[in-house]
Structure 1
Amino acid sequence: MNPLELLRASWYFFSRNAGQIALLCLPAIMIEAISQQGLIAWLGPEKSQGASIVVSMLFYPVYVGALIIFVDSRSHRIRLKPRQVLEMALARWPAFAVLAAISTLLIMVGAWMLILPGLYVMIKLAFAEYLLVLEGRAPLDAIKESFALTNGHFWTILVCVLMVMGPIWLVDWFAYRELGQHPDPVGTVLLETFNSFFQLFVSIALYRMFTLVTEQATEQ
């Protein structure tokens, strides 16, 4: 798998369907960003960190689950209405929220050990969301299968993720430097919304990689 070809195909899909993706995902992304700023205003930057993780785990499964269902349906030439996509995403929300909690904990433990173990765990979990949403796997089964499916594809996944996330992290760094030590809440909400929306591109690229890897595994 060529990372550049994967990203090119993923960008083509993302750019052509940006309006519908925004309609499905932006409301939940914006509510999440506003909720995060509300927590910071209420509890303060330091005390709100734990609560912010919980808020992310509440909203993340909604908009990422909807995106995965949307991309998969379009890939199979099935046109679902936005309401149908959201209903399917909400039906998977409880299991997805559990998966998000477990994945976050594993990545945090890996990052606590050092940055590289945290990055390794993140890449090995890359396919867990697709296994849960599209194949109905239980959270632990999805994690176990993701670790197996990513064998032999670690570097391709890593390159794809870094090629997308690198520019986003760079924009983050410059933007927060301009916002200063006490950033404007409205500016922060807009920045976080922008970042979260464009990070959906990573989910589309990983979906394409997931379909290729599962097809190869089926043929073997």
Structure 2
Amino acid sequence: MQATDKDFPQRGIVYSISTGGASQHYPNIFWINPQTGELQLVTKADYETTPIYILRIQATNSEDSSSVTVTVNIIEENDEKPICTPNSYFLAIPVDLKVGTNIYNFKLTCTDLDSSPRSFRYSIGPGNINGHFTFSPNAGSNVTSLILATRFDYASGLDKIWNYKLLVYITDDNLLSPRITYWILRKNVYSPSAWYVPFVITLGSMLLLGLLVSLIVLLAKAIHRHCPCKTGKHKKPL
């Protein structure tokens, strides 16, 4: 902006912001060049917190002053990332789980300050070997469920891994610049027929405990054998 002074001789004009421009974190996010009147941003404006700023700009010479009101409208942009809960999770599922099952009723809930609940898309990146997992719905909702898409097949050798670590992409389709956040899901697939696993663990624990007790007994005997303590019959009467 620029002010003029009709007095002669003309005196230098100094520009300043008298009121307005405050945000949650800064006393004023604007700065005005005192010589030229050029208005500049000191920091990034946030549409979600303050969409409109009303500034009072003052122009002063050595004897008088004048002021004008300037309204600054902040244009919305897609600058907020989706936030989803839970942000990580661990599940253990049976190998014979039925296709189409919502795995343990697990749901993912997402929010975004600058997007509507219908603007989210979900996809699973690396880790979804053989496409066993999917989300439903995969778009158009801020709440989605984890679904078993295809059955596991370890018998024929199609599936070889038992632990899945899924990287989930949540995309915000609001406006023209989508934002993506990442959500990690860990899965452990176990077989109900593997009854011997807890048996082996229990047996090993018992063997280790028995070995420890034997070592303690041997140590106690060795200490007793080499102890120089005198018995009561060697004591002299008072």
TM-score by length of structure 1 reads 0.22
From the two aligned structures, give the one with the greater strand fraction.
Answer: 2
From the two aligned structures, give the one with the greater helix fraction.
Answer: 1
Higher relative contact order (CA 8 A, sep 6+): 1
TM-score by length of structure 2 reads 0.21
